């Protein structure tokens, strides 16, 4: 049995999902030979510490840790003080400066902790530096949950399709935009109406600009470009057009001739823009689904689709990353 001490930093929707999933999967993980012990959970109010593992039932009902914190330590201070093997970073994302996640990840990596994250900001701002920091410290940084949520994409390309040359990846990487465009097409309703519906359903934020202006999708394009195409690009290198200008009439005209209009992110073209997608294309998925087409030399085109967001779904991608760290055998250690 391999004991792994885990610190969770960030206790929002995804953080709750992580606590829930680690708790639910305890037995399965043990059968795999992994004893994943959540020894600390931190948010902006403080930290809950438990050396033998945190009792999920005690904290899952709490929106923040304010009432259950056993220590006032926060952020980098907590990361430095707590002796864990792996940090899960799920604080709110900021694509401009990457904080506070960037500082958390730097602190964890430089103190020899593996990092698993769903936080796009730090990777968009500083992927190259973080990757080097991980390599220099002999630890891993995994971030499947940052692109396409639970939909396997990064590990699919890095592991399953290894050996293929990847010509490009195009897809729908934002469920909010896809929901709005789907509803506008189905009902012939205006953008503002579909947006307010999405907000009422909790699919869109009160300030939806991050999603509908294409910022979120562009962040994912940057992450894919840097991690899978070694491109070393910044957010400002992406040519971004959001969906706010798309009209129900445009959607109807396109549909009549066999097309859907989807917000498509394209790597390595580094574009995010509303695009005509044939209705029978496997990437023309509806609702909040995400999808991606991966164009390869040996395997042709591979298409994946799945839920791009959600508490448990995102936690699932995080769990997969954690397991893969401990199940990875390097080729040179096998021989």
Partner 1 sequence: MRLSMDLELQDIPGQLLLALQPLKENKANIISVVHHRDRKTPRGMIPVRFVLEMDRSKIEALQTKLKESGISVVRAGEDRFMESVSVVLVGHVLDSDIGDTVKRIDSTGFAEVMDLALTMPGVDEPSSAFMKIRATGKAEIQKALTILREVGKEKKLLVIEPIEAEAV
Binding site residues, partner 1, CB under 8 A:
167-170, 241, 245-247, 249-250, 252-254, 256-257, 259, 261, 264, 266, 269, 273-278, 281, 283, 295, 301
Distances (CA, A) of 126 to 191, 222, 243: 34, 11, 27
With contact defined as beta carbons under 8 Å apart, do 129 and 154 qualify? no
Shortest distance, position 275 Cβ to partner 1, whole Å: 5
Other CB atoms within a 10 A radius of the CB of residue 312 amount to: 17
H helix intervals, 137-290: 154-155, 175-187, 191-200, 209-212, 215-228, 248-256
Which among 265, 234, 217 is positioned nearest to 128, based on CA atoms?
Answer: 234
Shortest distance, position 5 Cβ to partner 1, whole Å: 43
Shortest distance, position 248 Cβ to partner 1, whole Å: 8
Shortest distance, position 181 Cβ to partner 1, whole Å: 11
Shortest distance, position 281 Cβ to partner 1, whole Å: 7
Report the distance separating Cα 181 and Cα 195, nearest Å.
9
- Among 25, 74, 142, 220, which one carries the catalytic annotation? 220
Other CB atoms within a 10 A radius of the CB of residue 33 amount to: 10
Known catalytic residue at 220? yes
With contact defined as beta carbons under 8 Å apart, do 285 and 124 qualify? no
| Residue 266 backbone dihedrals phi, psi, to 5 degrees | -130, 125
Shortest distance, position 274 Cβ to partner 1, whole Å: 5
Report the distance separating Cα 117 and Cα 151, nearest Å.
15
Q: Which is nearer to partner 1, 105 or 184 (CB)?
A: 184
Other CB atoms within a 10 A radius of the CB of residue 244 amount to: 16
Q: Which is nearer to partner 1, 15 or 265 (CB)?
A: 265
What is the dihedral sign for C-alpha 202, 204, 208, 211? positive
Distances (CA, A) of 133 to 122, 145, 225, 227, 247: 13, 20, 19, 15, 46
The H-or-E segment that residue 78 falls in is: helix 75-81
With contact defined as beta carbons under 8 Å apart, do 89 and 113 qualify? no
Shortest distance, position 252 Cβ to partner 1, whole Å: 7
241: left (phi over 0), alpha (psi -120 to 50) or beta: beta
Interacting residues of 41 by C-beta distance below 8 A, sequence separation 6+: 7, 8, 11, 15, 19, 47, 48, 54, 59, 65
Active-site positions?
220
């Amino acid at each position: 049995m391999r004991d792994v001490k885990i610190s969770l930093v960030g206790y929002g929707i995804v953080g709750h999902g992580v606590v829930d999933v680690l708790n639910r999967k305890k037995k399965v993980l043990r059968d795999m030979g992994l004893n994943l012990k959540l020894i600390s959970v931190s948010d902006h109010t403080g930290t809950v510490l438990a050396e033998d593992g945190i009792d999920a039932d005690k904290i899952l009902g709490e929106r923040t840790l304010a009432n259950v914190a056993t220590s006032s330590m926060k952020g980098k201070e907590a990361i430095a003080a707590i002796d864990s093997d792996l940090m899960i970073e799920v604080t709110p994302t900021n694509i401009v400066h990457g904080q506070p996640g960037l500082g958390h990840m730097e602190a964890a990596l430089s103190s020899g902790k593996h990092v698993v994250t769903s936080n796009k900001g730090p990777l968009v701002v500083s992927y190259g530096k973080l990757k080097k920091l991980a390599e220099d410290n002999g630890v891993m940084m995994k971030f499947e949950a940052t692109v396409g949520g639970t939909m396997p994409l990064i590990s699919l390309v890095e592991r399953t399709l290894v050996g293929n040359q990847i010509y490009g990846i195009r897809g729908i990487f934002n469920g909010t935009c896809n929901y709005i465009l789907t509803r506008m097409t189905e009902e012939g309703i205006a953008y503002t109406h579909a947006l307010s519906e999405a907000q009422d359903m909790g699919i869109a934020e009160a300030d939806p600009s991050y999603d509908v202006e294409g910022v979120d999708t562009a962040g994912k394009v940057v992450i894919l470009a840097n991690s899978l195409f070694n491109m070393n690009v910044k957010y400002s290198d992406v040519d971004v057009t959001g969906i706010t200008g798309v009209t129900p009439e445009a959607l109807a005209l396109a549909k009549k001739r066999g097309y859907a209009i989807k917000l498509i992110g394209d790597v390595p073209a580094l574009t995010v823009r509303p695009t005509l997608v044939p209705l029978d294309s496997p990437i023309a998925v509806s609702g909040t689904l995400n999808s991606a087409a991966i164009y390869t030399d040996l395997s042709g085109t591979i298409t994946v689709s799945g839920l791009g967001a959600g508490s448990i779904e995102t936690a699932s991608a995080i769990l997969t990353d954690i397991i893969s760290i401990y199940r990875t055998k390097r080729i040179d250690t096998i021989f």
